[in-house]
Amino acid sequence: MGMTDVLVVGAGPTGLVLACDLARRGAAVRIVDRSPAPPRTSRAKGPNARSLEILDDLGVAEEVLAAGSAPLPMLKYRDRLPVAETDPWADSSPSPDAPYDRGRLIAQWRLEEILRDRLAGYGVRVELGREATGLGEGPGGRHVDVAFAEGRTERARYVVGCDGAHSSVRKLLGIGFEGATAEDQVMVCGDVDLADGALDRTRWHQWFDEDGAVMLCPIPGTRTGWWFQAGPERDGRGRPLAPTTDGFRRLLARHTALPGRALTRAELLSTYRVNVRMADRFRAGRVFLAGDAAHVHAVAGGLGMNTGIQDAFNLGWKLGLVLAGHAGPELLDTYEEERLPVAARTLDLTSERLRATLEAIRRPGGGLDAAITPDTTGLGVGYRWSSLARGLAEAPQAGDGSPDAPDSEGRVARDGDRPAPQSGDLSLIHI
């Protein structure tokens, strides 16, 4: 039986970022996904500023920027009439230490496509239709055997579960996923087409009424595609109804000045419930959890996919150094040490931003901008408290993000032009 260095389970943004990072470091990596084909999902609306820095380091930021659009001003309505417009980024601009001052709107499926192409450039392709059904530690704890539904078993030095909130890897490890689901906080979502010219595509339109809400944000790279989010229809007992195309049309007609027939297509329909949970540990021996497999939280602030991308980048360089023999395996202990507190803080932050948003939309002119704060950019995340940074007091301090800075000729050095500092080589300034 052959041995791979790292087997990544789950090929969403978290798994793809990890696989790209490991592959460029020369690690033998494989990535599998239970889906028979790449899912065409649009759940996340795009990377935040911190994730764009990571995508830059991976060499795909320019393609992401070209495929997406800048965050849009938010036009808020009450009783079908516009009442306020807000641009949360109006006073923000790039700087040498924050070249990306805001995130990017891009369909999740398109971001995944870009990352898959980057991974293929390293000779690694996603193995689709492969569901992990068993995990077993090898003799002496030197590897992990992974059983698959089709009856095959693969062997890897390390395994990383990036397989979402219903993670098979987490369940196979028996790791708890404590938290709560708010059954009364429900939203229906989908990708829709509106009649050409029905709405201004330079705005994120948000109708908040006392009896419900509809939000429509244009999907970049499409002519008539929109992200649709709304409060659900309810039955006579107040229970939320499952989303349907006709239901979306009724919601559109009820809350907006558009007729229901303006919605010409609806797909990828889903019901979202606020779910706040976190794994009680992010590692069991040679198996790690990252992204939604390790933590899920309120959608407010758009930190779900982004926290997973940042998990992957933190773990990727550490695995790379250990596999290359440049660091001892104890370095891997710092993944949970650093990322679990960040995830816990993210759960608190998003719950607070959700509370603030629900309060804001009660008043005419309130909208989703209430969810956006400097914390949701991810740029403030650091690890001064990490064991890797102990006893050091440089400025910037160990554990901080490493800023880009102009060189002697005034040009800004980008991460792609110079090696990124790594904790493993004692620069101790890392993601």
Contact present, 19 and 33 (Cβ < 8 Å): no
pLDDT in tens, 64-99: 999 999 999 999 999 999 999 999 999 989 988 889
Q: Residue 1 burial (CB < 10 Å; 0-12/13-18/19+)?
A: exposed
Contact present, 384 and 397 (Cβ < 8 Å): yes
The SS3 of residue 184 is: strand
For the segment 5-32, the average pLDDT, to the nearest whole number, is 98
User: Each residue of 245-258: b (16+ CB within 10 Å) or e?
Assistant: bebbbebbbbbbeb
Q: What are phi and psi of 93, to 5 degrees?
A: -150, 155
The SS3 of residue 292 is: helix
pLDDT in tens, 149-205: 999 999 999 999 999 999 999 999 999 999 998 877 899 999 999 999 999 999 999
Closest by CA to 122, choosing from 16, 51, 211, is 16
Please name the residue ranges forming H helices in 58-132.
61-67, 108-120
The SS3 of residue 310 is: helix
Average pLDDT, the chain: 90
The dihedral through the CA atoms of 163, 167, 168, 170 has a sign that is positive
For the segment 231-240, the average pLDDT, to the nearest whole number, is 94
- Distance, in Å, from the CA atom of 398 to the CA atom of 386, rounded to the nearest integer, reads 9
* Residue recorded with tokens 């250990």: 322
Q: Residue 397 burial (CB < 10 Å; 0-12/13-18/19+)?
A: middle
Residue that wins the pLDDT comparison between 136 and 298: 136
pLDDT of residue 185: 84
Domains along the sequence of the chain with CATH: 3-72+100-179+276-377 (3.50.50.60), 183-275 (3.30.70.2450), 388-431 (no CATH)
Share of the chain above pLDDT 90, in %: 78
Confidence grade of residue 425 (pLDDT, cut at 50, 70, 90)? very low
Please state, in angstroms and as integers, the Cα–Cα distance from residue 180 to each residue in 58, 207, 280, 343, following that order.
35, 28, 14, 16
Partners of 228 in beta bridges? 190, 216
Contact present, 74 and 204 (Cβ < 8 Å): yes
pLDDT in tens, 367-423: 999 999 889 999 889 898 899 987 655 555 655 666 555 544 444 433 333 234 333
Share of the chain above pLDDT 70, in %: 90
pLDDT in tens, 306-356: 999 999 999 999 999 999 999 999 999 999 999 999 999 999 999 999 999
pLDDT of residue 421: 39
Phi-psi region of 179 (alpha: psi -120 to 50; beta: other; left: phi over 0): left
Cα angle 55, 58, 64; round to 5? 40
Whole-structure pTM value: 0.91
Q: In this structure, what token pair is assigned to residue 8?
A: 């990544």
Distance of alpha carbon 198 from the chain centroid:
30
Please state, in angstroms and as integers, the Cα–Cα distance from residue 115 to each residue in 23, 63, 420, following that order.
12, 10, 20
